[in-house]
Structure 1
Amino acid sequence: MKTPSSFQHSELRAALWAFRREFAVCLVFSVLINILMLTPTMYMLQLFDRVMLSQNLVTLTVLTIVMLLCFAAVAFAEWSRSRVLVRLGVKLDQQLNSRVFAASFEAALRQQGKTPTQGFGDLANVRQFLTGNGLFALMDAPWTPIYLIVLFLLHPWLGILGIVFSLILGGMAWVSHRMSHASIEAAQEAGGQVGGYIHSKLRNAEVIEAMGMLANLRARWKARQQHYLELNRQASDVSERVKALTKFVRYTQQSLALAAGAVLVIRGELSPGAMIAANVLLGRVTQPVDMIVMTWKSFLSARKAFLRLEETLAQNPPRDTTLVHAEPKGQLSLKNVIATAPSRPQAILKDLTIDFPAGEVIGVVGPSGSGKSTLARTLVGIWPYTDGRVQLDGVPLERWERDELGPYLGYLPQDIELFEGSIAENIARFGEVEPDKVIRACQRAGVHDMILRFPQGYDTEMGQAGGLLSGGQRQRIALARAMYGDPKLLVLDEPNSNLDDVGETALLKAVQDLKQQGSTVFVITHRPSVLSVADRLLVLNDGRIALYGPRADVIATLQAQAAAQPGPSPAAQPA
């Protein structure tokens, strides 16, 4: 067992080390089980070499009672060991599931890996291995030498035979690992990709059906599925060949052990009872190795899951507990901010340095691809590929405690996502639903009357009604969610893209109300009507600041540029 110092650099290993007492208890039970498993050997020796000669029924009765008591103790020890490990697995899950949830969320936020939810499957895989036969085989394996010693005591040739079969099975385990390791990993990765592919397509079933894309996507899925099945077949073929060969060795072992014992009995070097007992004992010698061979695939899977989970937790450590705990005022500043993306050779935002005063409305305009949405994500601190500093009230955004900052921040992305739950729960961000705040946010977003027309009003479940909402209704509910609680900083990315005139009027009034309360509001838009409430305008072009200043001055400059060079101004270019 590893020392505490060997676990200090791994959160997952440290969690396992915390259960060392439970593992120690299981090892004690394993010692008891393996000692008592010598019972069949001793019983047969006494039965054939003592009882059969003396024909004493009292001795037979006593031996049988002792045997039954030993087997009862074995059953109790195996049940207790399994029970301890099952509860250990539950405790391990309870201890790590919140961390895995947080780390998976961080991985998704930072766009690490293709399947951020893999961590939950990895934790389940590790937990299941801890309660399965593979771990029992590892615990029983150290007793193989002891059984070999007993075989040597019966006769040296029997001990040599036990060593030979143990080496054969051990060699088969090693060969199985060498032959199946790569194919098993490839099959698991391909299976994960197939699952992710199907999940992403089912989320867009309406688009696929409307534009007749199903046949083409099914052909692509079928190719991926065939690749996965082929890899899985290769891995299974190796595993099944090893299992078949293992069965051959096990059956051969039993017969050869009897044959070797018979030869020794004929020579007078072994008693008949010892011959039968040696056959049973030889089975105990090779059983742990045999079990390891049979569970090798699950061991490789658990090992891979352990390493993946360990990497996920290491790459996404717990958040700092010394972060800033305060109510923000809403003053934002960017210092040499550069935003990139893995799929783009050039930066999206290029060395932005700018200050945004608190309590003002800033309109952000620019042509498509100029970096407006990336700027929105950067302002709220969710774009992972950022260099430089984004400061809120003079403090870097990453130094703020996000759970405490969240209620003071509102964000409306272009892609609207409403979650399973009631409308009120969605707007209240799944915290405590305060009816006054929910209604106030909905009235600001101009969606209050619409919600009241639903059969269950604010208690309408989005899982049932979400698919019936129009794009504008979804956007207005999401806008109400962003405005919930009078946030100090509000970032709206194309908030009026799906709004009608009534909704846009409500949006303008809401922005003005928030401004009067001292909120800092960023409005990213292509529609000039929303810019009428802006105090300042920021014009982006190719990831750089083209213009920034009071709205009237920027509009005048844009008009002068348009007059000098005919064509649409940056603010008026389409999305």
Structure 2
Amino acid sequence: MTPEPAPAEHAQTEASWAKHSQPQGKGTFGLLLDYVYRDKPLLVKTLLLLLLATAADVAGPLLAKVFIDDYLLAGFLPPWPVAGLALAYIGTQLAAAWLRYQQTLRFTDMALAAVLDIRQQVFTHVQRLPMTFFDRAMTGQLVSRITNDTEAIKDLYVQFLSVVLTNVVLLVGIIIAMALLNVQLMLVALLLLPAVMGMIYLYQKLSGRAVADSRQLRSDINATLGESIAGMTVLQACGLQQHSAERFEQLNRRYYRARMRTINIGAALLRPAIDLLSVLVLFGILKVFGWQLVNGVAEIGVLYAFLNFMGRFTEPLAEITQRFNLYQQAMVAGDRVYQLMQQPQQHYGNTGNTIAHGALAFERVDFGYRAGQPVFEQLDLDIPAGAFIGVVGHTGSGKSTLLNLLLGFYPVDGGRITVDGQPLTGYRQQALRQGIGLVPQEPFILAGSIYDNIDMGRKLPREQIENAARQAHLLETINALEHGFDTRLGERGSRLSTGQRQQLVIARALAAAPRILLLDEATANVDSETEQVVQQALKALHGKVTLIVVAHRLSTISEADRILVMAHGELVESGSHRQLMALPEGRYQAMYRLQQQARRVALAEQPDR
């Protein structure tokens, strides 16, 4: 079993993640740049559609200006030129709408494809992280980063980059059109830009912390929900529902307050402020136009075009500023994903060796989960191929740590572990997982079929699956089910008993024909009948594979070739069952007699039948 991190370490991890969750931006853009340029033809096509849509949009007011000044005010309305202007105006507006539709589709395509790849990449990366990371990580927070945060990155594409790029190009087109009509009025309109940039800067400064807090609190809510649902039996058994509800309410209220802070800041600085500034700028345009009109240097059509352009000029600015709320959230989410991607992966060797025999050796191994708290110091151990080794000891003695090191879950601090004479660190991941099978104390069962649970996506031959079930003494149970191997087990294998689930996990481990089989207290939570089934399976495998069995019930390993007695990370006794029982005042002898006495008391207390 993996050691539980101390609460302080959980808090330290969360604080570290929260620190990385500040809207730095570098990580997010570094994560996204590859995807922006991934499909260059699509990007070029999207930008071309954007330019054409902007040109068609800007052409409308210019055509209206020509009609007003050259025809309407002059009282000269020839049918064909006027009809041509009308058709051109309608055509440009229809073309602008169609081009923007096509451009939006392509931007969305780019966004969804990018998020698809990012989410897959993040999940693949998480699966390759070392166990030291999962010792301190919380499941709900990881799920939130892989789902909610990657979804927020999609908003950065669709709701922010698309809108901002579209409106920036539109603004540039409008400014150019304004300059062609009247440079002085255009300069007055440009006063709106620095004012808006100041509002955006102020919004980022005021809302950044609140947005980061809201993203972190959402992860905390997911983590709390996952923890509470998974431990619902304990919560109800201990009467902790009210305490759990109060804890969740506190998180919920903190999230509510953080979200309200961002909403209040956005409500004050985004759309209302832009509307006020646009009215002031429009007043300035009318004042300058009036001065020009008095001096005879202005045309009514220019005023119409400018009023039209100002409406279109203000709207893109308002759109951009309103999207900065999404931008803040997306940048925080992107940085959170980026920081997760920066976690170092588990490294394996690159030799082409496979585990052929299963001989194991610990050579002066030092190891500790935390600095300054060693579990093993100078541990030496030699296990020949095909041996049946039992490992016993009290809680915290290092039994499960021994298995974790053999599985390569943690790197040793000193010395080395060898398999068939080769360093464990030199084997490829595939060689380790094929050569070493694990039967954990708590069986992990998928909601799929029995066949799927034994195969686990390895695409093993049917004959090999059936043989593994036979070795685990589970084949008879499977054949008695209505759909045999295709029987669906439900969540956590609810259709099987505790003992049958343990047999299923043993069959899963045996299906790949490993040369080394590790059992981590596989009989701790099963009845005596299932324990006998496990013992029969171990006897059948004895001599064929190397067996290392961590056992709480000493009767499970009484037939072992050698029993290792661990205490505080040290090997204090070693020998067969008979040899250890012969030791005067030995630890194993005391443990065995205590269990036997407890068993006799339990039998005596059972009612007569």
TM-score by length of 1: 0.87
Are the counterparts in 1 of residues 119 and 146 from structure 2 also a CA contact under 8 Å?
no
Which runs of 4 or more aligned residues in structure 1 lie more than 6 Å from their structure 2 counterparts after TM superposition?
Answer: 318-321, 384-387, 569-574
Q: Deviations over 1:9-56 (max 9, x none)?
A: 967643443233432332222222222322123122112111202223
Mapping 1:193-212, distance limit 5 Å: 193-212=220-239
Name the SS for the 1:492 alignment partner: strand
Which letter does structure 1 place at the counterpart of 2:190?
A: I
| 1:561 corresponds to 2:581 | no
Partner of 2:309: 281
Partner of 2:164: 137
Name the SS for the 1:131 alignment partner: helix
Name the SS for the 1:352 alignment partner: strand
| 1:248 corresponds to 2:276 | yes
Which has the higher mean CA deviation after the structures are superposed, 52-61 or 106-115? 106-115
Distance 1:395 1:13 in 2: 43
Which has the higher mean CA deviation after the structures are superposed, 177-186 or 146-155? 146-155
Structure 1 unaligned residues grouped into runs of 5+: 1-5
Partner of 2:323: 295
Which letter does structure 1 place at the counterpart of 2:547?
A: V
Partner of 2:152: 125
Residue 570 of structure 1 deviates from its aligned partner by 12
Are the counterparts in 1 of residues 393 and 567 from structure 2 also a CA contact under 8 Å?
yes
Distance 1:463 1:371 in 2: 34
Partner of 1:498: 525
Residue 396 of structure 1 deviates from its aligned partner by 3.9
Q: Deviations over 1:156-187 (max 9, x none)?
A: 43223222111111111111111111100101
Name the SS for the 2:542 alignment partner: helix
Name the SS for the 2:558 alignment partner: helix
Distance 1:465 1:339, change over 3 A: closer
Distance 1:506 1:192 in 2: 44
Distance 1:382 1:149 in 2: 63
Are the counterparts in 2 of residues 173 and 292 from structure 1 also a CA contact under 8 Å?
no
Which has the higher mean CA deviation after the structures are superposed, 405-414 or 158-167? 405-414
Distance 1:501 1:516 in 2: 24
| 1:103 corresponds to 2:118 | no
Distance 1:55 1:223, change over 3 A: same
Which letter does structure 2 place at the counterpart of 1:25?
A: K
Which letter does structure 2 place at the counterpart of 1:105?
A: Q
| 1:62 corresponds to 2:84 | yes
| 1:177 corresponds to 2:204 | yes
Mapping 1:180-191, distance limit 5 Å: 180-191=207-218
Partner of 1:29: 49
Distance 1:97 1:40, change over 3 A: same
Are the counterparts in 1 of residues 355 and 435 from structure 2 also a CA contact under 8 Å?
yes
Partner of 1:329: 357
Distance 1:32 1:562 in 2: 85
Are the counterparts in 2 of residues 425 and 431 from structure 1 also a CA contact under 8 Å?
no
Partner of 2:565: 539
Residue 300 of structure 1 deviates from its aligned partner by 1.9
Structure 2 unaligned residues grouped into runs of 5+: 1-25, 599-609
Distance 1:528 1:318, change over 3 A: closer
Which has the higher mean CA deviation after the structures are superposed, 295-304 or 441-450? 441-450
Percent identity for Structure 1 against Structure 2: 21
The number of residues matched between the two structures is 563
Are the counterparts in 1 of residues 128 and 346 from structure 2 also a CA contact under 8 Å?
no
Residue 149 of structure 1 deviates from its aligned partner by 4.5
Partner of 2:340: 312
Mapping 1:102-501, distance limit 5 Å: 102-107=124-129, 109=131, 110-111=133-134, 113-114=137-138, 115-117=141-143, 118-141=145-168, 144-145=171-172, 147-243=174-270, 244-254=272-282, 257-258=285-286, 260-316=288-344, 322=350, 324=352, 326-341=354-369, 346-383=373-410, 389-432=416-459, 434-463=461-490, 466-501=493-528
Which has the higher mean CA deviation after the structures are superposed, 472-481 or 320-329? 320-329
Distance 1:380 1:108 in 2: 12
Distance 1:546 1:25 in 2: 73
Which letter does structure 2 place at the counterpart of 1:297?
A: N
Distance 1:154 1:393, change over 3 A: same
Distance 1:67 1:570, change over 3 A: farther
Residue 335 of structure 1 deviates from its aligned partner by 4.2
Distance 1:46 1:170 in 2: 33
Which letter does structure 2 place at the counterpart of 1:38?
A: V
| 1:523 corresponds to 2:543 | no
Residue 531 of structure 1 deviates from its aligned partner by 1.7
Distance 1:108 1:569 in 2: 36
Name the SS for the 1:132 alignment partner: helix
Which letter does structure 2 place at the counterpart of 1:63?
A: L
Name the SS for the 1:297 alignment partner: helix
Are the counterparts in 1 of residues 560 and 577 from structure 2 also a CA contact under 8 Å?
yes
Partner of 1:3: none
Distance 1:532 1:253, change over 3 A: same
Partner of 1:48: 68
Distance 1:191 1:543 in 2: 40
Are the counterparts in 1 of residues 387 and 561 from structure 2 also a CA contact under 8 Å?
yes
Distance 1:541 1:285 in 2: 76
Name the SS for the 2:128 alignment partner: helix
Distance 1:290 1:572, change over 3 A: same
Are the counterparts in 1 of residues 149 and 336 from structure 2 also a CA contact under 8 Å?
yes
Distance 1:401 1:549 in 2: 33
Distance 1:36 1:570 in 2: 92
Partner of 1:18: 38
Partner of 2:3: none
Are the counterparts in 2 of residues 144 and 286 from structure 1 also a CA contact under 8 Å?
no
Distance 2:44 2:349 in 1: 34
Residue 286 of structure 1 deviates from its aligned partner by 4.4
Distance 1:355 1:124, change over 3 A: farther
Distance 1:554 1:29 in 2: 82
Residue 207 of structure 1 deviates from its aligned partner by 2.8
Which letter does structure 2 place at the counterpart of 1:35?
A: A
